Amino acid sequence: MKRAQIEQLRTSQWVQHYRNCLITGPTGSGKTYLACALGHQACRDGHRTVYHYAPKLFRALQTAQVDGSLPNLLKKLARAALVIIDDFGIAAVAGKQYRDLLEILDDRQGSGATLITSQFPVNQWHEIIADATVADAILDRLVHNPYRIELKGEPLRKHAASSKPIPSDS
């Protein structure tokens, strides 16, 4: 991870310019932490920001489809300056929800920024989305000129646990 790239993202100008940000890396590498930090900064800079854990977003889309509230959910997501989708690809999703994601991304094209975190490298996202046509369309909207951050290394939780003192029995 390059410090200069993080500093550039910290200014939230990428949100103003409707750029996407894709953060990938192994479990515990800090993807969610970084995404939330960028989201908090965007809020402080006056940008309406919406955060969704990907499996919950897909469940919300499914529920909204059934109860008729899908247009309202899509409108809420379209109005946000920044939408964060955390842990993309972590759970199996029905094809219909990926088409809904495509609609979300299409509504945001040129009018909002999207930040996605995933344990999977971007070049594997096509395999995650079962429908090749929908996968092509989703990736087309995400991968043109995004900021890409690939985190590496040991899980941060492991470091945090190992730095805590072990309580003694005395």
The CATH number covering residue 57 comes to 3.40.50.300
- Residue-number span of the structural domain to which 24 is assigned: 19-151
Instruction: Indicate whether 28 belongs to any domain.
Output: yes
Domains: count for the chain: 1
pLDDT at 114: 97
The residues near 142 (Cβ < 8 Å, ≥ 6 apart) are 20, 22, 105, 114, 116
Instruction: Indicate whether 165 belongs to any domain.
Output: no
Instruction: Indicate whether 79 belongs to any domain.
Output: yes
Instruction: Indicate whether 14 belongs to any domain.
Output: no
Instruction: Indicate whether 168 belongs to any domain.
Output: no
Coil, helix or strand for 167? Answer: coil
Instruction: Indicate whether 8 belongs to any domain.
Output: no
Taking only the tens of pLDDT, the chain with its 170 residues reads 578 888 889 999 999 999 999 999 999 999 999 999 999 999 999 999 999 999 999 999 999 999 999 999 999 999 999 999 999 999 988 888 999 999 999 999 999 999 999 999 999 999 999 899 999 999 999 988 799 999 987 765 554 555 555 555 54
C-alpha dist (Å) from residue 87 to 22, 34, 44, 45, 116 = 11, 13, 24, 25, 7
Coil, helix or strand for 120? Answer: coil
